[in-house]
Structure 1
Amino acid sequence: MTFSLPRRHVLHRILLGLVVVAIAGYLALALFVHPSNARDWSPDQERLATAEFSGDSVRVHNVRSAIYRSTTDYDVRWQERSYDLRRIESVWFVVEPFADWRGPAHTFLSFGFGNDEYVAISAEIRKERGESFSPLRGLLRQYELTYIVGDERDLIGLRTNHRHDDVHLYPVRADRDAARQLFVSMLERANALAAKPEFYNTLGNTCTSNIVDHVNLLLPEPIPFSYKTLLPAYSDDLAFDLGLIDTNLPREQFRTAFRINGLARDHADHADFSAAIRSHQRD
């Protein structure tokens, strides 16, 4: 006499086996694959930003100011710049959706120091030469995390004028003290990554999750968990709902009002690039 399991039991065992294999594989990655700052990096990410603080000033090393002819043809300039922390007066939230469906996006912050001086800070995967982003690989400890500090003509212009992605630039409700604390915490995080590298993780250590972590240091109540941070093309909706975007526009108008692609294209080579991309501001 022979026995056979019902088909559904066989399927359950197969699925269980696949789950076990997946968990075992991930644990193996966790045990044997370690983050490193010593790889053959893409030229636009080969250097790490670091900051030296002294009272009310900070000197930032490896501020990126690249000149792009296309996404693959560019000249990278790395600069040292000093900032007076007492002059920080504004914070800006940048959202760049980059897929055919609303969900995937890149987000970062920019800080204004008056006199149309701005510096952006962007948490990103640190690409090795020839690499590109994959959400799946981002789950498998295949990318290190980096904080790029750069000027807006680089970090914003790359996305609007060469990648041709929609870019939305939102003013954030933050007083000077909060803006300063946010800027300092992001530079301290950059220092920490330079000293001890970390893996990017598509679910838990991303551009948007890091922004949430920084902002939560300043809020009396943390930003609630939401799919809108896992799918960061919705993160501006969440910021709007929480009152973090400084606008009186209604929900159905604010995203369109803060899209800056036309202004970024028209002023790509102008000295007043940062001022120009903010000339759309209206309540």
Structure 2
Amino acid sequence: MLGVIGWGALALHFELPGPRPLVVVVIAVWVLIGAAALIAPWQVRRGSPRQSRRARVALAIRLMFTLTLVVLVSWWQSLEPRNDRDWAPDVARQLSVERDGDRVTLHNVRDFEWQTPATAIPRWETREYDLSRLDSVDMIVSYWMGPAIAHTLVSFGFTDGRHLTFSVEIRRERNEAFSISGGFFKQFELNLIAADENDILRLRSNVRGEEVYLYRVGLSPEARRELFLAYLEEASRLRRAPEFYNTLTSNCTTIVFDMVDRIVSGLPRDIRLILSGYLPEYVYDIGGLDTSHPLEFLRERGHINPRARQIPYTAGSEAFSRAIRDGVPAADGEILHASSP
């Protein structure tokens, strides 16, 4: 009962539209009805001459709570994700894809020039890539709230020196801020951002001051290709059918794992897929990183912040991408292979 009452209060807090005072009143009414339903049975005393009347009152209160809960759940189930809200500028557009064999054309690739964590010169581009020149996959882990919580990004490198980073992110509305608890209550939609490293990695290392680590991942050429295409399919799917972000089940790590799991067979489930700050340990344990060195060595070499801060922003330059990989060991062989069809 307490769990249901608490869930209902939070659902109303995050999603009920209308003036804030009215929302507070509705939450208070819900909590009072729930508290009455919780306490009412204890007011019925055996042997009391008023037992029958109190039992009827207790039953009526329980029925009122049940009906209110039905209304609340029906309203909750009616909430649907959308693609037509007033979005924050950095997630305002969605990636769209055209493909002709190995040639892919990506529209709405983000390449913002960030001045502060909240302000940037916006730039959305159309870029072309050749899948036959796909050369590497890197996992980037950006720590923004303690050792257990991090944001996971995946960056693809091409033989011409270019890099493209994919990031599963919340799609915030304008003037809306991220909330971990709100992520459990349909507060945000999902968006898949494809971005230049000068934008999406520099934002975290240089502008927000997060601690960012880059790890080279050992994927076979077939698996690299399949993973890149899986990102493109995920972007197209979200354009067709918007989806809510969920802090626990549909986030920056679990969605990436689901894509990799369809490509590489036999990957174990692990709590580190939820506590994404420990994801490097998980990938190291399954052999996806350079196991000829201790993980601590890879973590030390992969810490990009000192090198990233030395490179000034230059639109279209790969100097930032080269600098952040300086000294980072490559994975020892192509360990993780695509599953056989």
| Number of the residue aligned with 2:312 | 268
2:253 to 196, 208, 213: 208
With over 3 angstroms needed to count, the CA separation of the structure-2 counterparts of 1:178 and 1:28, relative to structure 1, is same
C-alpha displacement at 1:30, in angstroms?
4.2
Matched, 1:85 2:131: yes
Q: Match for 1:40 among 70, 79, 86?
A: 86
Deviation at 1:175, TM superposition (A): 1.7
Could you state the TM-score of these two structures normalised by the residue count of structure 1? 0.89
Q: Which runs of 5+ in 1 are unaligned?
A: 5-19
1:7-22 alignment, distance < 5 Å:
none
Distance 1:205 1:154 in 2: 24
In structure 2, relative to structure 1, the CA distance for the partners of 1:31 and 1:59 (3 Å cut) is same
Tell me which residue corresponds to 1:248. 292
Aligned-residue identity in percent = 36
Alignment of 1:110-121 (within 5 A): 110-121=155-166
Separation (CA, whole Å) in 1 of partners of 2:246 and 2:112: 26
Question: Would you say 1:142 and 2:164 are equivalent positions?
Answer: no
| Alignment-derived partner of residue 69 in structure 1 | 115
**Contact 2:110–2:195 at 8 Å: present in 1 too?**
yes
Aligned to 2:24: none
**Matches of 1:132 and 1:80, distance apart in 2:** 28
Aligned residues of 1:88 and 1:113 also touching (Cα < 8 A): yes
| 1:281 corresponding residue in structure 2 | 328
What pairs with 1:182-193 in structure 2 (closer than 5 Å)? 182-193=227-238
Greater alpha carbon shift after TM alignment, 170-179 vs 25-34: 25-34
String of CA shifts for 1:12-46, please: whole Å, max 9, x gaps: xxxxxxxx899868844541211000001001111
Question: Match of 1:124, SS?
Answer: strand
Name the CA distance, whole Å, in 2 between partners of 1:135 and 1:21: 30
1:155-174 alignment to 2 at 5 Å?
A: 155-174=200-219
Superposition deviation, residue 140 in structure 1: 0.4
TM-superposition CA deviations, 1:131-177 (whole Å, max 9, x none): 12111110101100000001001110000001100001111101222
Tell me, yes or no, if the aligned pair for 2:215 and 2:298 is still in contact at 8 Å. Answer: no
* Bigger fraction of residues in helix: 2
Q: Mean Cα displacement is larger for which, 223-232 or 46-55?
A: 223-232
Distance 1:203 1:29, change over 3 A: farther
In structure 2, the residue corresponding to 1:215 is in which secondary structure?
A: helix
User: What's the offset of the Cα at 1:233?
Assistant: 0.5
CA RMSD of aligned residues (A): 2.3
Classify 1:133/1:175 alpha carbon distance in 2 versus 1 (closer, same or farther; 3 Å): same
Aligned residue pairs, count: 268
Matches within 5 A, 1:100-139: 101-139=146-184
Following TM superposition, by how much is the alpha carbon of 1:246 offset from its aligned partner in structure 2, in angstroms?
3.3
Q: Is the 8 A contact 1:29 1:140 kept in 2?
A: no
In the TM superposition, residue 256 of structure 1 has moved relative to its aligned partner by 1.9
2-side partners of 1:208 and 1:27: how far apart?
A: 29
Tell me by how many angstroms 1:281 deviates.
Answer: 1.5
TM superposition shift of 1:3: 2.7
Q: 1:187-222 CA deviation, whole Å, 9 max, x = no partner?
A: 11001101110000111100000110111111121x
Q: Which has the higher contact order (CA 8 A, sep 6+)?
A: 1
Measured in 2, the distance between the counterparts of 1:29 and 1:66 equals 38
| Residue pair 2:190, 2:244 contacting (<8 A) in 1 also | yes
* Displaced runs of 4 or more, over 4 A: 20-26
User: Are the structure 2 counterparts of residues 250 and 43 from structure 1 closer, same or farther at C-alpha, using a change threshold of 3 Å?
Assistant: same
Q: Is the 8 A contact 1:89 1:175 kept in 2?
A: no
1:259 corresponding residue in structure 2 = 303
Aligned residue type for 1:96: S
Distance 1:246 1:29, change over 3 A: farther
CA contact (8 A) 1:58 1:84 kept: yes
TM-score (norm 2): 0.74
Distance 1:67 1:177 in 2: 34
Q: Which amino acid aligns with 1:110?
A: S
Question: Which 10-residue stretch deviates more, 212-221 or 251-260?
Answer: 251-260
